[in-house]
A and B are shown apart, each in its own frame.
Chain A
Amino acid sequence: MDTIEAVLNGNKRSIAKLITLIEEKSHDAKEILKKIYTHTGKARIIGITGAPGSGKSSLVDKLAKILRSKNKKIGIIAVDPTSPFTGGAILGDRIRMQDLALDEGVFIRSMGTRGALGGLSKACYDAAKVLDASGMDYILIETVGVGQSEIDIAKLADIVLLVMVPGMGDDVQAIKAGIMEIGDIFVINKSDKDGADRLVTEIETALGLCFEKKELKPPVIKTIATEGYGIEELVETIDVLWEYLTKKDYLKIKRTNRIRQEIIGLLTESVLNNIMTTYSEKIEFLVEKAVKRQIDPYSAAEIIIKEKSL
């Protein structure tokens, strides 16, 4: 098939078209994804998450530039929220990355969250696979860190950079919200602002508490994305962490979990779809009854399951 070959060869137009098919949930996309799957697994998937305006896009831009200077090929996926009211979105992350627009070794795609309320859509996972199969060495995925998407990115990425900014109350919030576990590396961006060192200390203390028993505490790196300060060190840290994760089999565990979850997710979706289409009338009937308190929801579900397995 032409598309498959073109994607595997890194043809940008074909990659772009395939991602669109994925976003449109086309059947063709699924068939192509099946065929390219064996070519995935080589790219290092790095998630970048943090509050809006914390400098994620600027960091991605600078990270990509350094990785390019080492001759690595970079795929970038920048996710912005879709308006739940209109279904529209303004995808503006690219504005910070337009220097890379003409770089042969960089592919940038902006995606709306679309159906995935707050989180990452399945399309984002699949788009990462496409970029992986097309021969990218690194895939950088930028997502706004609010609610579900942080949890999702931790599942999708091999390494998650959690971006924080001094003076925004990020520290306290993060510790409260229990998202400290998500970050593999903590990036204190805008460290040109007051309070950067204090934030570093606070995070290190908090990490000390969380990671008491584990051997590797997540590193904390100070950066100024707009000036490129600290980015070299960040890249080095990513590489060192990568070595460590591979050596200790952590990466394998992480990826195994991811794939297991994906299969379970697909199963759930397909079984559920199947039930919903075959038994839609029956379900409605049971819903009515439950509303009138003539049956309880547990028994209603059991009735469907029984019929299904008959």
Chain B
Amino acid sequence: MSDKNSLEKLRKEKTLWEETKLRKILEKHPERFEKFYTNSNIEVEPVYTELNVQDLDYLNDLGFPGEYPYTRGVQPNMYRGKLWTMRQYAGFGTAEESNQRYKFLLSQGQSGLSVAFDLPTQIGYDSDHPLSRGEVGKVGVAIDSLKDMEILFDGIPLDKVSTSMTINAPASVLLSMYIAVAEKQGVAPDKLSGTIQNDILKEYVARGTYIFPPSPSMRLITNIFEFCSKNMPKWNTISISGYHIREAGATAVQEVAFTLADGIAYVEAAINAGLSVDEFAPRLSFFFNAHNDLLEEVAKFRAARRLWAKIMKERFYAKDPRSMMLRFHTQTGGSTLTAQQPDNNIIRVTIQALAAVLGGTQSLHTNSRDEALALPSEDSVRIALRTQQIIAYESGVTETVDPLAGSYYIEYLTNTIEQKAREYIDKIDKLGGAVKAIEKGFMQQEIQDSAYRYQMEIESGRRIVVGVNKFQIEEEPPKGLLKVDPEVGRTQEIKLKELKSSRDNLAVREALKELHSQAKTDANLMPVILKCVKCYCTLGEICDTLRKVFGEYKASITI
């Protein structure tokens, strides 16, 4: 950046300042802590100068927005053109109830839908499965068959909204249902835009809603990549997720490292399945967490963008610039919300959302203040959405691109996070890649160590969580929390019974048989799953058929 002489002068001046000004003050008043750390345990100095980023080369390391290595953002003018997509994750109870919530959100100015499914759906069980007892409709909407999906999107024009679906192990089934609903509305697959999460690796690492073992799971994922590259050019085929990895206790560095390592595994799987990198890589998208350490988080997003661009270019020889662009959705950190003094969560979410915007997110979900207690109420959801709108329309941070670039501290953190993440990725490569590392429990162990350390820091008082281990008050239990109707399970069971007596069961059997035999070959399973879905095979029937061929995954614990 600057010439040698001026750096030398700066170094001298800094030493002088440290030994005189700074020392004097320290002798009088010791600092609050002996050492300072970011939220993710990167040591922080009292002040940053050009000395901390002296090797930074603007054109190589930052570049202009919309240009390699995309440190400053993936579009040339970012939010001056179009704001990020405000997308609140929602869904609960029956398809009917969720459909109402979606219409409410769209009427409030939300620009895209984000569908939450209940746990039985996420694990491929119908609502009448014994393991579904008590879970139906709880953390999301219950979908048993195409019938439910038709109700879920009733009156919502699928060529007008973009829909994100948080679904992983059975992603191929739910995507097929979405295609089938659109078809009934007269919308062709190539007109559909949206995202399926479809990221099984982080399920093994952090979230736990897996069904099949890694290799058939990776096959289903590459089947989707291939199918979408031919039929659904506007669809994001995967959302490679660091969000849940962070929620499980990872640091910012681990979040970047493990997410990108998973990303590398998906790219390799697709290439091994015969796809060329620029065929599918432009449709890869990412999903990150936003925590409270504002500046570290901004740096994290920038570091992730730069590192991914380099990986795609240098490791996979991508040619299409879109293959190198890390586009991401952000959700504010659920694990940072406290059950104590829930209104404080509004402030936490504001800081986190600001980090996401300053970090150049493409879409954003802001958590509601009561999420540590229950499903969010309509009031809380509105405040969460308003938080985004205030940042977008009142804060001014949207008017220029990557406004924090050039800050010594931000650039230093960006470099540090990138470098430490790269070290992790090298280690994972040595273990044989992400899938092997997960099977060995490597990532899980690292994350648990971080989670345990974090908890112990809170308990020792080294880390303060306002309202939890400091500034506590006596509180009345909160009121007006949303409750899911406990009858949802029953309703779904009745609907299932009706479905099974009214559909063409012969066609169902035939379709499942075909699925069974194709699963044993290495055919792309999307067409036959679509066929199953269209003749109203249930999600559970389809997944059970695949379970028979693929087996089920058992987690290896690492504590």
Cβ of A267 within 8 Å of any chain B Cβ, yes or no, is no
Contact between chains at A90 and B554 (CB < 8 Å)? no
CB within 8 Å of A: which of B194-247?
Answer: 213
Contact between chains at A95 and B551 (CB < 8 Å)? no
Q: Report the separation of the CA atoms of residues A95 and B553 in the bound assembly, to the nearest whole angstrom.
A: 12
CB within 8 Å of A: which of B544-559?
Answer: 551, 554-557, 559
The minimal Cβ–Cβ distance linking B323 to chain A, given in whole angstroms, is 32
Enumerate chain B residues within 8 angstroms of A96, measured Cβ to Cβ: 554
The minimal Cβ–Cβ distance linking A23 to chain B, given in whole angstroms, is 21
Cβ of A92 within 8 Å of any chain B Cβ, yes or no, is yes
Q: Report the separation of the CA atoms of residues A95 and B557 in the bound assembly, to the nearest whole angstrom.
A: 8
Contact with B along A17-39 (1 / 0, CB 8 A): 00000000000000000000000
Q: Report the separation of the CA atoms of residues A227 and B550 in the bound assembly, to the nearest whole angstrom.
A: 10
Contact between chains at A227 and B551 (CB < 8 Å)? yes
CB within 8 Å of B: which of A221-256?
Answer: 226-227
Enumerate chain A residues within 8 angstroms of B554, measured Cβ to Cβ: 95-96, 226
- Closest residue of B by beta carbon distance from A95: B557
Looking at the complex, which one of A53, A90, A95, A227 makes contact with B555 (CB distance below 8 Å)? A95
Enumerate chain A residues within 8 angstroms of B551, measured Cβ to Cβ: 227
- Closest residue of B by beta carbon distance from A227: B551
Number of A residues, CB within 8 Å of B? 7
Looking at the complex, which one of B440, B556, B559 makes contact with A90 (CB distance below 8 Å)? B559
CB within 8 Å of B: which of A74-118?
Answer: 90, 92, 95-96
- Closest residue of B by beta carbon distance from A58: B554
Q: Report the separation of the CA atoms of residues A226 and B551 in the bound assembly, to the nearest whole angstrom.
A: 10
Enumerate chain B residues within 8 angstroms of A90, measured Cβ to Cβ: 559
Enumerate chain B residues within 8 angstroms of A53, measured Cβ to Cβ: 440, 556
Q: Report the separation of the CA atoms of residues A82 and B559 in the bound assembly, to the nearest whole angstrom.
A: 14
Contact with A along B515-559 (1 / 0, CB 8 A): 000000000000000000000000000000000000100111101
Enumerate chain B residues within 8 angstroms of A226, measured Cβ to Cβ: 213, 554
- Closest residue of A by beta carbon distance from B554: A96
Q: Report the separation of the CA atoms of residues A49 and B556 in the bound assembly, to the nearest whole angstrom.
A: 18
The minimal Cβ–Cβ distance linking A8 to chain B, given in whole angstroms, is 34
Contact between chains at B559 and A92 (CB < 8 Å)? yes
- Closest residue of A by beta carbon distance from B559: A90
Q: Report the separation of the CA atoms of residues A164 and B528 in the bound assembly, to the nearest whole angstrom.
A: 41
Q: Report the separation of the CA atoms of residues A290 and B373 in the bound assembly, to the nearest whole angstrom.
A: 67
The minimal Cβ–Cβ distance linking A31 to chain B, given in whole angstroms, is 37
Enumerate chain A residues within 8 angstroms of B213, measured Cβ to Cβ: 226
Q: Report the separation of the CA atoms of residues A226 and B553 in the bound assembly, to the nearest whole angstrom.
A: 9
Which of the listed residues B440, B557, B559 has the most CB atoms from chain A within 10 Å of its own CB?
Answer: B557
Q: Report the separation of the CA atoms of residues A226 and B555 in the bound assembly, to the nearest whole angstrom.
A: 11
CB within 8 Å of A: which of B138-156?
Answer: none
Q: Report the separation of the CA atoms of residues A227 and B440 in the bound assembly, to the nearest whole angstrom.
A: 17
CB within 8 Å of B: which of A250-307?
Answer: none
- Closest residue of B by beta carbon distance from A94: B557
- Closest residue of A by beta carbon distance from B555: A95
Q: Report the separation of the CA atoms of residues A22 and B195 in the bound assembly, to the nearest whole angstrom.
A: 57
Enumerate chain B residues within 8 angstroms of A92, measured Cβ to Cβ: 557, 559
CB within 8 Å of A: which of B327-375?
Answer: none
Q: Report the separation of the CA atoms of residues A90 and B559 in the bound assembly, to the nearest whole angstrom.
A: 8
Q: Report the separation of the CA atoms of residues A92 and B554 in the bound assembly, to the nearest whole angstrom.
A: 13
Q: Report the separation of the CA atoms of residues A92 and B557 in the bound assembly, to the nearest whole angstrom.
A: 7
Q: Report the separation of the CA atoms of residues A278 and B554 in the bound assembly, to the nearest whole angstrom.
A: 55
Enumerate chain B residues within 8 angstroms of A95, measured Cβ to Cβ: 554-555, 557
The minimal Cβ–Cβ distance linking A189 to chain B, given in whole angstroms, is 14
Q: Report the separation of the CA atoms of residues A96 and B555 in the bound assembly, to the nearest whole angstrom.
A: 8
- Closest residue of B by beta carbon distance from A61: B554
Q: Report the separation of the CA atoms of residues A78 and B556 in the bound assembly, to the nearest whole angstrom.
A: 16
Q: Report the separation of the CA atoms of residues A90 and B554 in the bound assembly, to the nearest whole angstrom.
A: 18
The minimal Cβ–Cβ distance linking B31 to chain A, given in whole angstroms, is 33
Q: Report the separation of the CA atoms of residues A96 and B440 in the bound assembly, to the nearest whole angstrom.
A: 15
Q: Report the separation of the CA atoms of residues A90 and B213 in the bound assembly, to the nearest whole angstrom.
A: 25
The minimal Cβ–Cβ distance linking A230 to chain B, given in whole angstroms, is 16
Q: Report the separation of the CA atoms of residues A92 and B445 in the bound assembly, to the nearest whole angstrom.
A: 14
- Closest residue of B by beta carbon distance from A92: B557
- Closest residue of B by beta carbon distance from A90: B559
The minimal Cβ–Cβ distance linking A99 to chain B, given in whole angstroms, is 9
Enumerate chain A residues within 8 angstroms of B440, measured Cβ to Cβ: 53
Enumerate chain A residues within 8 angstroms of B556, measured Cβ to Cβ: 53
Q: Report the separation of the CA atoms of residues A185 and B440 in the bound assembly, to the nearest whole angstrom.
A: 26
CB within 8 Å of A: which of B435-482?
Answer: 440
Q: Report the separation of the CA atoms of residues A14 and B555 in the bound assembly, to the nearest whole angstrom.
A: 31
Q: Report the separation of the CA atoms of residues A237 and B97 in the bound assembly, to the nearest whole angstrom.
A: 59
The minimal Cβ–Cβ distance linking A51 to chain B, given in whole angstroms, is 13
Contact with B along A208-231 (1 / 0, CB 8 A): 000000000000000000110000
The 8 closest A-B pairs by CB, nearest first: A92-B557, A90-B559, A95-B557, A96-B554, A92-B559, A227-B551, A95-B555, A226-B554
Subset of 12 A-B contacts with CB under 8 Å: A53-B440, A53-B556, A90-B559, A92-B557, A92-B559, A95-B554, A95-B555, A95-B557, A96-B554, A226-B213, A226-B554, A227-B551
Q: A95-B555, A96-B554, A227-B551 are in contact. List 9 more A-B contacts (CB 8 A).
A: A53-B440, A53-B556, A90-B559, A92-B557, A92-B559, A95-B554, A95-B557, A226-B213, A226-B554
